[in-house]
């Protein structure tokens, strides 16, 4: 039996309309998972195995509705992948306070809210797996990444506390820390970086599939995925 077959598993993904979220959704669909896909660009669409919903992770009511509709449709959620994120880059002294606030709101507050609602559900089930997409910028000081690094460092800290709080309740929480990924994340960023040396986005989604389908008996708290040439 193919251990990567996900028939019967329900997986919720935020930020599912682009980048890592979109690529991961496509891969997990091929593997037979039930998918609950949230994105600001989505409108409600439903098939037997896929529920697409509008989701603004900054808004608690939107997150609550996303969670409630997921449970109403599939009865349970086994895996949450927090992929929603925004990056706006400038030196700290020249940066916009509004940009800083947005990154904290989307990247950190949004992760907190989804973990809160789906974590409570997993606690009742006595099992589940949460993946929080961090960034190498959350562990390494990079020029121009002040607000982004602050938000992602916060996600890493939040994840570490969740690991301690939820481990004995049967819930695994994993920090996924990729270096630069060749994805739509860079579409609106100028000057455009060299994407050719970055991690292919499908590589990150394949790593997520590998982690989702690991045998029980050990928890993976953190994984760092780097481009072949290191930090770009």
Quick one: tokens of 51? 């529920």
Sign for the pseudo-dihedral over CA of 177, 201, 108, 175: negative
Selected catalytic residue, list 67, 112, 117, 148: 148
Distance (Å) of CA 111 to CA 28, 63, 91, 222: 21, 10, 25, 16
* Cβ pair 114, 65 in contact under 8 A: no
Q: Which residues pair with 128 in a beta bridge?
A: 171
**Distance (Å, rounded) from C-alpha 143 to C-alpha 134?**
17
Checking 49-57 for CB contacts under 8 A at 24+ apart, the result is: 52/16, 55/14, 55/84, 57/14, 57/15, 57/84, 57/106, 57/109, 57/110, 57/111, 57/113, 57/114
- 148 included as an active-site residue: yes
Mark 61-70 as b/e (b = at least 16 C-beta within 10 Å): ebbebbbebb
**Distance (Å, rounded) from C-alpha 209 to C-alpha 107?**
22
* Catalytic sites, residue numbers: 148
């Amino acid at each position: 039996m193919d251990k990567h077959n996900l028939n019967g598993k329900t997986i919720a993904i935020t930020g599912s309309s682009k980048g890592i979220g979109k690529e991961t959704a496509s891969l997990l669909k091929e593997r037979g998972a039930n998918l609950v896909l949230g994105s600001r660009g989505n409108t409600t669409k439903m098939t037997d195995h896929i529920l697409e919903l509008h989701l603004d992770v900054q808004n608690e009511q939107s997150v609550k509705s996303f969670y409630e509709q997921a449970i109403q449709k599939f009865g349970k959620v086994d895996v949450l992948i927090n992929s929603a994120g925004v990056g706006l880059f400038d030196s700290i002294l020249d940066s916009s306070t509004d940009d800083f606030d947005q990154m904290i709101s989307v990247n950190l507050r949004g992760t907190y809210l989804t973990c809160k609602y789906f974590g409570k559900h997993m606690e009742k089930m006595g099992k589940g797996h949460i993946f929080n997409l961090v960034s190498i910028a959350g562990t390494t000081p990079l020029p121009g990444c002040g607000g982004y690094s602050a938000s992602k460092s916060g996600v890493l800290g939040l994840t570490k506390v969740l690991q301690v709080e939820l481990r004995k309740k049967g819930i695994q929480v994993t920090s996924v820390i990729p270096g630069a990924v060749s994805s739509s994340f860079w579409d609106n960023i100028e000057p455009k970086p060299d994407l050719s040396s970055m991690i292919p986005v499908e590589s990150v989604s394949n790593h997520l599939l590998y982690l989702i389908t690991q045998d029980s008996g050990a928890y993976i708290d953190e994984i760092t995925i780097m481009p072949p040439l290191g930090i770009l």
